[in-house]
Each structure stands twice: as structure tokens, then as C-alpha cells.
Amino acid sequence: MNVETPRARYRQVADEIRNDIKRGKYAPGSALPSQPELARAYGLNQTSINRAIALLRAEGLVRVEHGRGAFVQEIPTVKRVRRIPRGDGSGSSFAEEMRKAGLEPRAPLVELATVPAPAVAAERLGISENDPVVMRKRHMFVGDRPVQLATSYIPLTIAGGEEIALPDTGPSGLYRRLSERGYRIARFVEEIEARHPSEEEAEFLKLTEAQQVLEVTRIAYTTEDVAAESVFNIFPSQQWRLSYEWTAG
């Protein structure tokens, strides 16, 4: 490759490697050539190669293992599809989207408790801060790799108690139980925000300080237009592509 000036050389190298990854030259999970090999191939010093790899790592395309080198991330970009109206009333499609991508998902329930409503949840549920809510927290994986965090809040007056979540229904099976209590879900609203992760989120999702997350907040409304649940979904921005579809009229 002949690098161009005045554009930074390490960025040109990063562009080339990024394109090679997207074209499949380097498959998910495979090792990139060593830094000395890349330096020879591009006619640059290892400092420039190191900066190129650091840029790709910050984008979430590669991971670096000490003493072993750089590897292409195994988790591909996954499309998160929302069709409006969706038609099945589920409001969630984590497992469906993962399986369509040829991946095997897990979404264990890691915490279930009755807690005072945090301000962000209270605002979306239309209740007072510190009103009791049933909280469900999930850690979502593809194989052993963490890909998403999801925390759900349901007003205690609607849930009736923590037993509504037991046995575990999965991310979206709760709506049938809410319907049995007289709270049939009729519509969903989603709010999307890109931001830097919290310390806890970065640790769980294995993100660098330069990477961002998408926070997709979903609010489920009943036929009486009462907010019955608010769910905060957090995932690495580079691993997801949002796709929304709705009918005209």
C-alpha cells in the first residue's frame, strides 16, 4: 500500500484494515498480522501501526490480548429492527435478532427487587420519585460475550409484587401476566440516546473509555394509556444498527 499525505498515515492503515475486516479478509475471531508484519507491509514504523490498531480497538472492531496480538471481534453488527405497528405485541426482540444473525443468545435475570423508583424511571412512568417499583435487571450474552444490559421498572401498584416476574418470563413475556392483571399493553414508545458508558456498563460490556453506548428506553402503555413499564436497554453503539419501519397514513 502507498500511503497518502497529508492525511495521517495511521488513519489510512486503520481504513485499510477496517475495509479488510468488512470484506471478510479477516474473519470474526481471527488474529490480525503482527505489528512488525503490518509495519513491513505498509512501510511504516510500529508506532504508526500501534496507533492504527488503537483506533480500531476504540471503534470496537478489534480486541487486543496482551502477549498475543490483535483479534477481530466475534460479535458482528446486529440490526435492531422495529416495525410500527409490530403486530405481535412483544415489544422486545433480542433473542430473535441474535438468532437471525446466527448467534445463540442468553438473557439471565440477575436481579429482582422492589426498590424506590429512580428519577429517570419515575419520569417515564408518570409516578413520583421513590414510589415503589418492581425492578428486573438482565445481563444479555451471545455465548459468553456480554452484549447488552437491560433494566425494567414496573410500578408496584401495577405489578402487584415481585412474584409477577417468577418464574422468569424472559425479556418480554411479562406482558401476558400484566394483561391477566387487567393491564393490556397497547403501544410502545422508544427514546434513543448515545452517550459514554458508566463505569459499571463499561466493565460489563468490556468497552474502552473512547467507546459509546446506545441507551434505548422503551415505555409500554396500556389500552388506558397508562405507563406500565419502562425498560432501559444499554448496548455498545458499534455492535448495533437501528432500523425502524412504519406504514404511511
Query: Tell me, what's the pLDDT at 89?
Result: 46
Indicate yes or no: pTM above 0.75.
Answer: no
103 and 29 housed in the same domain: no
Q: What is the pLDDT of residues 6-49, one digit of tens each?
A: 678 999 999 999 999 888 899 888 999 999 999 999 999 999 99
Residue 87 and residue 128 in one domain:
yes
**Residues 155, 125 within the same domain:** yes
Q: How many CB atoms lie within 10 A of CB 25?
A: 12
Assign residue 21 the CATH number of its domain: 1.10.10.10
The answer on 128 and 55 residing in a single domain is no
Is 68 in the same domain as 87? no
Residues 203 and 241 in one domain: yes
127-186 pLDDT, tens digit per residue, is 999 999 999 999 999 888 888 999 999 999 999 999 999 999 877 789 999 999 999 999
Q: Which domain holds residue 236?
A: 78-246
207/239 same-domain check: yes
Residue 43 belongs to some domain of the structure: yes
Same domain membership, residue 203 and residue 178: yes
Residue 204 belongs to domain with CATH number? 3.40.1410.10
Contacts 24+ apart (CB under 8 A), 126-131: 126/226, 126/227, 127/155, 131/155, 131/156
Quick one: 135 and 239 in the same domain?
yes
Query: What are 209-235's pLDDT values in tens digits?
Result: 677 899 999 999 999 999 999 999 998
Residue spans of alpha helices (H) in the chain: 9-23, 35-42, 46-58, 94-100, 119-125, 156-159, 174-180, 199-205
